[in-house]
């Protein structure tokens, strides 16, 4: 009988140690993943908000499935392209240097614009988005 009590005690101690290690590893991996995600989101939102650009008033035109507008950038960020998203289509602009002041005419061919479309820096789908129609753009995020 005393051998059985010792065996049960050793088994319960081993179970307790195993459970403790499991809880520690699970908590550690969850905290590390949460920290990495938070760091990536913060970095992304900061980088995206550094890019300041505007669409010149009255420069927007759309003919024969070609959208053209003048981009005015005031510097900042490492992003080199803008994305134009209309309905289910997305198109990239030519490469731009947003670190310097830019005032450049952009032409996007083969895109269907019905009513509204969005323009945002590459990689910034959730930040720094401008919603546009052919008369102008407003910042939505």
pLDDT for 9-58, tens place per residue? Answer: 999 999 999 999 999 999 888 888 777 666 566 556 777 877 888 888 78
pLDDT for 48-62, tens place per residue? Answer: 877 888 888 788 999
CATH architecture designation of domain 52-139:
Sandwich (2.60)
3-state secondary structure of 119: strand
């Amino acid at each position: 009988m005393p051998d059985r009590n010792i065996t049960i005690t050793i088994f319960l101690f081993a179970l307790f140690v195993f459970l403790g290690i499991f809880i520690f590893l699970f908590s550690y991996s969850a905290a590390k993943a949460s920290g990495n995600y938070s760091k990536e989101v913060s970095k992304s939102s900061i980088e995206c908000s550094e890019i300041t650009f505007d669409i010149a008033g009255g420069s927007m035109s759309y003919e024969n499935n070609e959208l053209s507008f003048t981009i005015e950038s005031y510097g900042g960020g490492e992003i080199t392209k803008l994305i134009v998203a209309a309905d289910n289509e997305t198109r990239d602009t030519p490469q731009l240097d947003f670190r310097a002041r830019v005032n450049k005419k952009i032409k996007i061919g083969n895109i269907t614009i019905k009513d509204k479309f969005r323009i945002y820096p590459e990689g910034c789908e959730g930040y720094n988005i401008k919603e546009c129609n052919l008369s102008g753009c407003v910042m939505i995020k």
